[in-house]
Amino acid sequence: MSYLEITPDLSTPRKERKIAARIWSEAFASVEFKIGLVVFVILLLSAIFYPMFSGIDPTKMNISAKLSPPVFFGDGWSWVHPLGTDQLGRDMLSRALVGLRYSLLIGVSTTVVMLAVGALVGLFSGYFGGSVDTVLMRLTDAQLSIPMIILAITILGVSRPTIPSIILVLGLAGWPVYARVMRSTVMSERKKEFVRGAMVLGATDWRIMFSLILPLVLPPIAFVAVLDIARMMIFESVLGFLGLGVQPPTPTFGNIIADGRKYLMNAWWIATMPGVFLVLTLTSINLMGAALERARNKIYGGA
Protein backbone atom coordinates (compact mmCIF):
# COMPACT_ATOMS: atom_id res chain seq x y z
CA MET A 1 0.00 0.00 0.00
CA SER A 2 1.40 3.28 -1.07
CA TYR A 3 0.76 5.31 1.99
CA LEU A 4 2.67 3.04 4.26
CA GLU A 5 5.82 4.45 2.68
CA ILE A 6 5.20 7.65 4.46
CA THR A 7 4.87 5.93 7.79
CA PRO A 8 7.97 3.80 7.96
CA ASP A 9 7.58 3.15 11.68
CA LEU A 10 4.41 1.27 10.95
CA SER A 11 6.00 -1.55 9.04
CA THR A 12 6.78 -4.43 11.31
CA PRO A 13 10.43 -4.51 12.25
CA ARG A 14 12.15 -6.73 9.71
CA LYS A 15 13.49 -9.68 11.57
CA GLU A 16 16.52 -11.07 9.92
CA ARG A 17 15.35 -14.60 9.51
CA LYS A 18 14.92 -16.88 6.62
CA ILE A 19 11.48 -17.10 5.17
CA ALA A 20 11.02 -20.75 6.11
CA ALA A 21 11.63 -19.91 9.76
CA ARG A 22 9.25 -16.98 9.59
CA ILE A 23 6.52 -19.16 8.11
CA TRP A 24 6.98 -21.72 10.85
CA SER A 25 6.78 -19.25 13.66
CA GLU A 26 3.87 -17.41 12.07
CA ALA A 27 1.95 -20.68 11.65
CA PHE A 28 2.91 -21.87 15.10
CA ALA A 29 1.42 -18.75 16.64
CA SER A 30 -2.06 -19.61 15.34
CA VAL A 31 -4.66 -21.48 17.34
CA GLU A 32 -5.49 -23.90 14.56
CA PHE A 33 -1.90 -25.02 14.24
CA LYS A 34 -1.64 -25.72 17.95
CA ILE A 35 -4.89 -27.67 18.03
CA GLY A 36 -3.83 -29.65 15.00
CA LEU A 37 -0.41 -30.34 16.41
CA VAL A 38 -1.66 -31.56 19.79
CA VAL A 39 -4.22 -33.90 18.26
CA PHE A 40 -1.73 -35.14 15.72
CA VAL A 41 0.99 -35.85 18.26
CA ILE A 42 -1.40 -37.79 20.48
CA LEU A 43 -2.58 -39.87 17.55
CA LEU A 44 0.93 -40.43 16.31
CA LEU A 45 2.22 -41.53 19.69
CA SER A 46 -0.72 -43.89 20.11
CA ALA A 47 -0.15 -45.31 16.66
CA ILE A 48 3.48 -45.95 17.48
CA PHE A 49 3.18 -47.19 21.02
CA TYR A 50 -0.33 -48.56 21.67
CA PRO A 51 -0.08 -51.67 19.51
CA MET A 52 3.36 -52.26 20.99
CA PHE A 53 2.44 -51.90 24.66
CA SER A 54 -1.10 -53.19 24.78
CA GLY A 55 0.16 -56.51 23.51
CA ILE A 56 -2.94 -56.90 21.41
CA ASP A 57 -2.27 -58.31 17.98
CA PRO A 58 -4.51 -56.52 15.48
CA THR A 59 -4.65 -59.60 13.30
CA LYS A 60 -5.38 -62.06 16.09
CA MET A 61 -8.82 -63.55 15.79
CA ASN A 62 -10.94 -64.39 18.79
CA ILE A 63 -14.28 -65.73 17.74
CA SER A 64 -15.60 -65.82 21.30
CA ALA A 65 -15.22 -62.04 21.55
CA LYS A 66 -16.52 -61.26 18.06
CA LEU A 67 -18.70 -58.23 17.34
CA SER A 68 -18.22 -56.74 20.77
CA PRO A 69 -19.47 -53.12 20.69
CA PRO A 70 -17.37 -50.09 21.73
CA VAL A 71 -17.45 -48.94 25.33
CA PHE A 72 -20.74 -47.44 26.54
CA PHE A 73 -22.59 -48.71 23.46
CA GLY A 74 -25.01 -51.59 23.57
CA ASP A 75 -24.57 -54.84 25.48
CA GLY A 76 -21.40 -56.67 26.25
CA TRP A 77 -18.79 -53.96 25.81
CA SER A 78 -15.59 -54.17 27.72
CA TRP A 79 -12.48 -52.06 28.36
CA VAL A 80 -10.35 -54.75 26.82
CA HIS A 81 -11.64 -53.66 23.43
CA PRO A 82 -12.45 -49.96 23.82
CA LEU A 83 -13.59 -49.67 20.23
CA GLY A 84 -15.11 -53.09 20.12
CA THR A 85 -14.19 -56.00 17.87
CA ASP A 86 -15.00 -57.04 14.34
CA GLN A 87 -16.70 -60.10 12.97
CA LEU A 88 -13.59 -62.20 13.66
CA GLY A 89 -13.10 -60.79 17.14
CA ARG A 90 -10.09 -58.65 16.23
CA ASP A 91 -9.53 -55.56 18.36
CA MET A 92 -10.74 -52.47 16.50
CA LEU A 93 -8.58 -49.95 18.35
CA SER A 94 -5.30 -51.64 17.55
CA ARG A 95 -6.46 -52.34 14.02
CA ALA A 96 -7.28 -48.67 13.53
CA LEU A 97 -3.95 -47.57 14.98
CA VAL A 98 -1.95 -49.94 12.83
CA GLY A 99 -3.99 -48.72 9.88
CA LEU A 100 -3.00 -45.21 10.83
CA ARG A 101 0.68 -46.17 10.61
CA TYR A 102 0.32 -47.41 7.06
CA SER A 103 -1.83 -44.49 6.16
CA LEU A 104 0.75 -41.98 7.40
CA LEU A 105 3.63 -43.89 5.85
CA ILE A 106 1.98 -43.93 2.46
CA GLY A 107 0.64 -40.38 2.74
CA VAL A 108 4.01 -38.88 3.57
CA SER A 109 6.06 -40.89 1.08
CA THR A 110 3.59 -40.27 -1.71
CA THR A 111 3.67 -36.55 -1.08
CA VAL A 112 7.45 -36.56 -1.11
CA VAL A 113 7.49 -38.43 -4.42
CA MET A 114 5.02 -36.14 -6.11
CA LEU A 115 6.63 -33.04 -4.72
CA ALA A 116 10.04 -34.13 -5.96
CA VAL A 117 8.88 -35.08 -9.44
CA GLY A 118 6.62 -32.05 -9.79
CA ALA A 119 9.21 -29.63 -8.49
CA LEU A 120 11.84 -30.91 -10.87
CA VAL A 121 9.57 -30.80 -13.90
CA GLY A 122 8.28 -27.36 -12.95
CA LEU A 123 11.78 -26.05 -12.33
CA PHE A 124 13.01 -27.07 -15.76
CA SER A 125 9.84 -26.00 -17.49
CA GLY A 126 9.66 -22.61 -15.85
CA TYR A 127 13.35 -21.83 -16.05
CA PHE A 128 14.09 -22.77 -19.61
CA GLY A 129 10.72 -21.96 -21.14
CA GLY A 130 10.45 -22.38 -24.90
CA SER A 131 10.29 -25.88 -26.28
CA VAL A 132 11.35 -27.54 -23.02
CA ASP A 133 8.38 -25.86 -21.43
CA THR A 134 6.01 -26.79 -24.23
CA VAL A 135 6.92 -30.47 -24.14
CA LEU A 136 6.84 -30.76 -20.36
CA MET A 137 3.60 -28.84 -20.03
CA ARG A 138 1.83 -30.87 -22.72
CA LEU A 139 2.88 -33.95 -20.80
CA THR A 140 1.60 -32.38 -17.61
CA ASP A 141 -1.70 -31.48 -19.26
CA ALA A 142 -2.12 -34.99 -20.54
CA GLN A 143 -1.43 -36.42 -17.10
CA LEU A 144 -3.71 -33.88 -15.48
CA SER A 145 -6.55 -34.72 -17.82
CA ILE A 146 -6.67 -38.36 -16.76
CA PRO A 147 -8.38 -38.37 -13.40
CA MET A 148 -5.75 -39.45 -10.92
CA ILE A 149 -7.95 -42.12 -9.40
CA ILE A 150 -8.70 -43.76 -12.72
CA LEU A 151 -5.01 -43.94 -13.44
CA ALA A 152 -4.24 -45.30 -9.99
CA ILE A 153 -6.93 -47.95 -9.90
CA THR A 154 -6.14 -48.96 -13.43
CA ILE A 155 -2.52 -49.61 -12.66
CA LEU A 156 -3.14 -51.15 -9.26
CA GLY A 157 -6.19 -53.02 -10.46
CA VAL A 158 -4.38 -54.87 -13.17
CA SER A 159 -1.17 -55.45 -11.22
CA ARG A 160 -0.86 -56.56 -7.62
CA PRO A 161 -0.78 -53.66 -5.16
CA THR A 162 2.19 -53.51 -2.78
CA ILE A 163 3.24 -50.63 -0.57
CA PRO A 164 6.01 -49.40 -2.91
CA SER A 165 3.80 -49.71 -5.96
CA ILE A 166 1.02 -47.78 -4.20
CA ILE A 167 3.43 -45.00 -3.26
CA LEU A 168 4.86 -44.85 -6.74
CA VAL A 169 1.51 -44.88 -8.49
CA LEU A 170 -0.10 -42.24 -6.28
CA GLY A 171 3.03 -40.10 -6.36
CA LEU A 172 3.32 -40.27 -10.10
CA ALA A 173 -0.36 -39.58 -10.53
CA GLY A 174 -0.22 -36.48 -8.34
CA TRP A 175 2.81 -34.58 -9.61
CA PRO A 176 1.24 -32.45 -12.36
CA VAL A 177 -0.33 -29.98 -9.95
CA TYR A 178 3.04 -29.35 -8.35
CA ALA A 179 4.70 -29.04 -11.72
CA ARG A 180 2.26 -26.30 -12.63
CA VAL A 181 2.56 -24.35 -9.41
CA MET A 182 6.32 -24.71 -9.44
CA ARG A 183 6.53 -23.63 -13.05
CA SER A 184 4.62 -20.45 -12.49
CA THR A 185 6.57 -19.44 -9.38
CA VAL A 186 9.87 -20.25 -11.08
CA MET A 187 8.82 -18.16 -14.04
CA SER A 188 8.06 -15.17 -11.87
CA GLU A 189 11.27 -15.57 -9.85
CA ARG A 190 13.25 -15.92 -13.03
CA LYS A 191 12.10 -12.49 -14.17
CA LYS A 192 13.37 -10.87 -11.00
CA GLU A 193 16.39 -8.67 -10.98
CA PHE A 194 18.53 -10.81 -8.74
CA VAL A 195 18.41 -13.60 -11.29
CA ARG A 196 19.50 -11.14 -13.95
CA GLY A 197 22.20 -10.05 -11.53
CA ALA A 198 23.44 -13.61 -11.14
CA MET A 199 23.50 -14.08 -14.90
CA VAL A 200 25.51 -10.94 -15.37
CA LEU A 201 27.93 -12.19 -12.74
CA GLY A 202 28.45 -15.20 -14.97
CA ALA A 203 26.55 -17.89 -13.02
CA THR A 204 25.57 -20.97 -15.01
CA ASP A 205 21.91 -21.93 -15.51
CA TRP A 206 22.46 -24.95 -13.32
CA ARG A 207 23.78 -22.82 -10.48
CA ILE A 208 20.95 -20.31 -10.77
CA MET A 209 18.33 -23.04 -10.85
CA PHE A 210 19.53 -25.16 -7.98
CA SER A 211 21.35 -22.84 -5.65
CA LEU A 212 19.41 -19.62 -6.20
CA ILE A 213 15.84 -20.30 -7.33
CA LEU A 214 15.07 -23.73 -5.88
CA PRO A 215 15.79 -22.81 -2.23
CA LEU A 216 13.50 -19.82 -2.67
CA VAL A 217 10.52 -21.46 -4.29
CA LEU A 218 10.56 -24.88 -2.68
CA PRO A 219 9.75 -24.04 0.97
CA PRO A 220 6.47 -22.24 0.28
CA ILE A 221 5.33 -25.11 -1.91
CA ALA A 222 6.57 -27.74 0.49
CA PHE A 223 4.68 -26.16 3.38
CA VAL A 224 1.43 -26.37 1.51
CA ALA A 225 2.24 -29.94 0.58
CA VAL A 226 1.28 -30.79 4.17
CA LEU A 227 -2.31 -30.49 2.98
CA ASP A 228 -1.55 -33.10 0.36
CA ILE A 229 -0.37 -35.60 2.95
CA ALA A 230 -3.95 -35.63 4.15
CA ARG A 231 -5.27 -35.85 0.62
CA MET A 232 -3.01 -38.78 -0.14
CA MET A 233 -4.05 -40.54 3.07
CA ILE A 234 -7.63 -40.29 1.91
CA PHE A 235 -6.55 -41.64 -1.41
CA GLU A 236 -4.82 -44.56 0.15
CA SER A 237 -7.91 -45.35 2.16
CA VAL A 238 -10.06 -45.12 -0.95
CA LEU A 239 -7.80 -47.62 -2.67
CA GLY A 240 -7.97 -49.88 0.36
CA PHE A 241 -11.73 -49.55 0.36
CA LEU A 242 -11.87 -50.62 -3.28
CA GLY A 243 -9.60 -53.55 -2.47
CA LEU A 244 -6.69 -52.04 -4.36
CA GLY A 245 -4.66 -50.88 -1.38
CA VAL A 246 -2.39 -52.72 1.01
CA GLN A 247 -3.83 -56.23 1.08
CA PRO A 248 -5.35 -57.95 4.11
CA PRO A 249 -4.57 -59.26 6.62
CA THR A 250 -2.60 -56.02 7.10
CA PRO A 251 -5.25 -53.68 8.49
CA THR A 252 -5.70 -50.32 6.76
CA PHE A 253 -8.51 -47.83 7.16
CA GLY A 254 -9.74 -48.68 3.71
CA ASN A 255 -9.97 -52.42 4.05
CA ILE A 256 -11.34 -52.23 7.61
CA ILE A 257 -14.15 -49.97 6.48
CA ALA A 258 -14.82 -52.07 3.40
CA ASP A 259 -15.08 -55.13 5.64
CA GLY A 260 -17.26 -53.32 8.13
CA ARG A 261 -19.63 -52.20 5.43
CA LYS A 262 -20.89 -55.79 5.19
CA TYR A 263 -21.86 -55.73 8.87
CA LEU A 264 -23.31 -52.23 8.87
CA MET A 265 -26.73 -53.34 10.04
CA ASN A 266 -25.69 -55.31 13.13
CA ALA A 267 -22.19 -53.91 13.90
CA TRP A 268 -22.12 -50.28 12.78
CA TRP A 269 -18.90 -49.54 14.66
CA ILE A 270 -16.66 -51.63 12.42
CA ALA A 271 -17.15 -49.29 9.49
CA THR A 272 -17.54 -46.04 11.38
CA MET A 273 -15.10 -46.10 14.29
CA PRO A 274 -11.84 -46.44 12.33
CA GLY A 275 -13.23 -43.64 10.15
CA VAL A 276 -13.43 -41.40 13.19
CA PHE A 277 -9.71 -41.98 13.74
CA LEU A 278 -8.97 -41.25 10.15
CA VAL A 279 -11.07 -38.09 10.21
CA LEU A 280 -9.38 -36.90 13.39
CA THR A 281 -5.93 -37.46 11.94
CA LEU A 282 -6.84 -35.77 8.69
CA THR A 283 -8.43 -32.82 10.42
CA SER A 284 -5.34 -32.32 12.57
CA ILE A 285 -3.09 -32.42 9.51
CA ASN A 286 -5.39 -30.17 7.54
CA LEU A 287 -5.52 -27.62 10.36
CA MET A 288 -1.75 -27.50 10.48
CA GLY A 289 -1.59 -27.34 6.71
CA ALA A 290 -4.13 -24.54 6.54
CA ALA A 291 -2.22 -22.60 9.19
CA LEU A 292 1.00 -23.04 7.22
CA GLU A 293 -0.71 -22.01 4.02
CA ARG A 294 -2.03 -18.85 5.63
CA ALA A 295 1.29 -18.06 7.20
CA ARG A 296 2.91 -18.44 3.81
CA ASN A 297 0.34 -16.24 2.09
CA LYS A 298 0.71 -13.64 4.80
CA ILE A 299 4.48 -13.56 4.61
CA TYR A 300 4.67 -13.65 0.86
CA GLY A 301 1.84 -11.19 0.46
CA GLY A 302 3.31 -8.76 2.96
CA ALA A 303 7.01 -8.98 2.16
Which residues 100-159 are close enough to bind another protein by CB under 8 A?
A: 138-139, 141-151, 153-155, 157-159
46 binds another protein (CB under 8 A): no
Compute the C-alpha angle 242/243/249, nearest 5°. Answer: 140
202 binds another protein (CB under 8 A): yes
Which of 72, 75, 200, 206 is in the footprint of another protein by CB under 8 A?
200
> Whose Cβ is closer to another protein: residue 15's or residue 64's?
15
Smallest distance, Å, CB 150 to another protein?
A: 6
Smallest distance, Å, CB 41 to another protein?
A: 17
SS3 category, 270: helix
75 binds another protein (CB under 8 A): no
Among positions 2-21, residues that touch another protein (CB under 8 A) are 2-3, 5-10, 14-19
Among positions 216-275, residues that touch another protein (CB under 8 A) are 216, 227, 230-231, 234, 237-238, 241-242, 253, 257, 261, 264-265, 268, 271-272, 275
C-alpha span between 42 and 48 (Å, rounded): 10
SS3 category, 267: coil
Which of 168, 198, 218, 299 is in the footprint of another protein by CB under 8 A?
198
Among the listed ranges 51-59, 110-118, 124-132, 279-287, the one in contact with another protein (CB under 8 A) is 279-287
Which of 286, 292, 295, 296 is in the footprint of another protein by CB under 8 A?
286
> Whose Cβ is closer to another protein: residue 12's or residue 64's?
12
> Whose Cβ is closer to another protein: residue 39's or residue 48's?
39
Which of 32, 61, 163, 247 is in the footprint of another protein by CB under 8 A?
32
Among positions 80-99, residues that touch another protein (CB under 8 A) are none
Smallest distance, Å, CB 237 to another protein?
A: 6
Q: Is 13 exposed, middle or buried (0-12, 13-18, 19+ CB in 10 A)?
A: exposed
User: Residue 220: which of 122, 286, 116, 300 has the closest Cα?
Assistant: 300
C-alpha span between 175 and 168 (Å, rounded): 11
Residue 137's CB is within 10 A of a number of other CB atoms, namely 19
Q: How many residues bind another protein (CB under 8 A)?
A: 80
Which of 207, 210, 249, 262 is in the footprint of another protein by CB under 8 A?
207
Q: What is the DSSP letter of 160?
A: -
Per DSSP, the residues of 78-139 read -TTSTT-B-TT--BHHHHHHHHHHHHHHHHHHHHHHHHHHHHHHHHHHHHH-HHHHHHHHHH
8 A C-beta contact, residue 217 and residue 182: yes
C-alpha span between 159 and 267 (Å, rounded): 33
Smallest distance, Å, CB 37 to another protein?
A: 13
